[in-house]
Structure 1
């Protein structure tokens, strides 16, 4: 295991985990577009939990979504994926702190620590994938409604919360990949075999010259 790569992977995974926590409550997952509007009196912005509006005087008002079952399916799925991402990232951080080589939490069994660190890498990759799927699915619905000429509702554009989610997903996947590549699951050293003579294992001292000479075939003599 390479300690430097493990530390870099831990930093990347931790940064991605923090950015997921920042992206989830961010209010600007989507914002109402001003494209085609001459006069804009209010701006609407939403995330997975609430919808807010700001008028021209700067006064804003937010309301939470009243019903979970009344929400669109992609919003419910994005909620579940983001929460799962935070849980996986938390478990990955704990496993990485135990499994990295410079940590004393896992003892001196480096084979076990390598496997724990590899598991942490898998958890980080799963965290990144959950985040990537959630924000990409949400962004797909935004762009689909925006370019649909038959859509009569409010058109939105991609907000900063989605960009934070994409960055966190990339960092988490990169950190997990570094952990999985740096950890060797089979780190047992291969020791040299004891001295063998014609299939017999000798655990004692090395044989004398006369004993060694007796093992040679006749072709060794002139």
Structure 2
């Protein structure tokens, strides 16, 4: 019965983390730069994986998509690929979890469902690691430019999307580990029961 509750908690953590990671893809503030000076000249620059924008004091924003894929920096390509992989892995992990968890009872033997649940856990762990790597690479680029005395461009700071993404990635890793732990725990119990039955029959 304890594995039942562990799977429920793990599934909630995984879905919550995956939704948070997915929500950062269209989110605006991956990196932010505020130009403070004369009140009328104050502006806020922000950027994400798809576009860069500027917003003036009146709240009017002007956005520009990245013009060319080949002209993009390598770290943006890497982050895009990792984020797409994280979303896909989380989707398949959710599907496998729904089929393999004990509370759904869709079908199959207990050992088969446990293996499916373990595959779902691995998918969520990989999803969390992919997204965590993407956010870390992006944040490392921002901080390295910010603290580089030889960099004279706009020095951005970490945006809210990165903090949300870090939290979602950690939830996916923790939830996926719990799913794998529930499978190994149930497998150990079933194996010990089989041995006790065999010894009793002997």
* TM-score of the superposed pair, with normalisation by structure 1: 0.82
Cα distance in 1, alignment partners of residues 201 and 100 from structure 2 = 37
Q: Using the TM superposition, give the Cα deviation of residue 163 of structure 1 relative to its aligned residue in structure 2, in angstroms.
A: 0.7
The gaps in structure 1 that reach 5 residues or longer are 197-222
Cα distance in 2, alignment partners of residues 109 and 70 from structure 1 = 52
Q: Which residue of 1 aligns with 2:79?
A: 78
Q: Which residue of 1 aligns with 2:25?
A: 24
Render the CA deviation track for 1:41-72: whole Å, top value 9, x for unaligned: 22110000011110122211111111111111
Render the CA deviation track for 1:59-87: whole Å, top value 9, x for unaligned: 11111111111111001000000000000
Give 3-state SS (helix, strand or coil) of 2:198's partner.
coil
Cα distance in 2, alignment partners of residues 32 and 177 from structure 1 = 37
Query: CA RMSD of the aligned region, Å?
Result: 1.6
TM-aligned CA distance change 1:195 to 1:142, over 3 Å: closer
Render the CA deviation track for 1:181-218: whole Å, top value 9, x for unaligned: 1113463541235866xxxxxxxxxxxxxxxxxxxxxx
Q: Which residue of 1 aligns with 2:157?
A: 157
4+ residue stretches of structure 1 with deviation over 2 A? 37-41, 184-189, 191-196
TM-aligned CA distance change 1:194 to 1:4, over 3 Å: closer
Cα distance in 1, alignment partners of residues 81 and 201 from structure 2 = 61
TM-aligned CA distance change 1:195 to 1:23, over 3 Å: closer
Cα distance in 2, alignment partners of residues 17 and 93 from structure 1 = 9
Give 3-state SS (helix, strand or coil) of 1:43's partner.
strand
Give 3-state SS (helix, strand or coil) of 1:71's partner.
coil
Cα distance in 1, alignment partners of residues 122 and 112 from structure 2 = 15
Cα distance in 2, alignment partners of residues 108 and 96 from structure 1 = 14
Cα distance in 1, alignment partners of residues 65 and 85 from structure 2 = 21
Question: How do 1:60-99 and structure 2 match up within 5 A?
Answer: 60-99=61-100
Cα distance in 1, alignment partners of residues 88 and 125 from structure 2 = 13
Residue 51 of structure 1 pairs with residue 52 of structure 2: yes
* TM-score of the superposed pair, with normalisation by structure 2: 0.90
Give 3-state SS (helix, strand or coil) of 1:192's partner.
helix
Question: How do 1:82-121 and structure 2 match up within 5 A?
Answer: 82-105=83-106, 107-121=107-121
Give 3-state SS (helix, strand or coil) of 1:32's partner.
strand
Mapped contact 1:33–1:157 kept (Cα < 8 A): no
Cα distance in 2, alignment partners of residues 71 and 129 from structure 1 = 24
Mapped contact 1:33–1:155 kept (Cα < 8 A): no
Q: Which has the larger radius of gyration?
A: 1
Residue 175 of structure 1 pairs with residue 175 of structure 2: yes
Q: Which residue of 2 aligns with 1:12?
A: 13
Q: Which residue of 2 aligns with 1:192?
A: 198
